A = this chain, B = another copy of it.
Amino acid sequence: MNTTPIQNLSDTTLKLIHSRQHISPKRLGDPGPDPEQVEKILGAAGAAPDHGLLIPWRLVIIPQERRHLLAETFAEALVERDAGATEEQKQEAREKAYRGPLLVLVIARFDSTQDSVHPNERLISAGCAVQNMLLAAHAMGFGAGLSSGRGLNARAMRQLFGLNEQEQPLCFMTVGAVTKSKPPRTRPGRGDYTSTL
């Protein structure tokens, strides 16, 4: 039995996992993934663990031609939590909506009538889906980053994305070409988070 290919696959996978890093949306520019690549990146989410086959999350792509709606929503969300926000602050909030060629909102789907799968488990599935997408994008040579913030749960945001009462926005994922790199971040080692019973 030749174990070389498996060794290579393991090394390649670990290298991919450890070389991925968060890239801020402001460092992500054109060219973004083409339609086929978008299909592959978002398609990777579907291979996440999904106890009970619930698909406990969904994705919404915000195309460039609709970013102005998100921009206004960011500004409204800011005013919602700070009625005294200045026009400059609102403009800064708006500008964030235009960053990055591929922008996707990840939404958790809870279901109080189906309590056999714990909400935590649904979020773990969403996290697995997110990591699959981040790794797929990274393998294609793109940078990607997650972003959230207090505006995520604003009324205006829920309205824009048509969220029902059992849905919660989790984070935005931005994917694009890395326009400006930064040094890799120090990661925790196994000993920082592992113990033995």
Residues of A within 8 A of B (CB): 6, 9-10, 12-14, 16-18, 20, 22, 39-40, 42-51, 55, 57-63, 66, 69-70, 108, 118, 120-121, 123-132, 134-136, 139-141, 146, 148, 152, 160-161, 168, 170-171, 187-190, 192-197
Contact = CB atoms under 8 A, between A and B. Distances in A.
| Majority DSSP secondary structure for residues of A touching B | helix
* Chain copies in the assembled complex: 2
Contact of A63 (B48, B55, B69, B197): B197
Given A6-B141, A120-B123, A195-B60, A49 B161 contact: no
A118 B170 CA distance: 9
Contacts of A170: 120-121, 124
B193 A51 contact: no
Contact of A131 (B10, B61, B127, B141): B127
Given A14-B139, A139-B9, A170-B124, A59 B131 contact: no
A129 B17 CA distance: 10
Nearest to A43: B190
B134 A196 contact: no
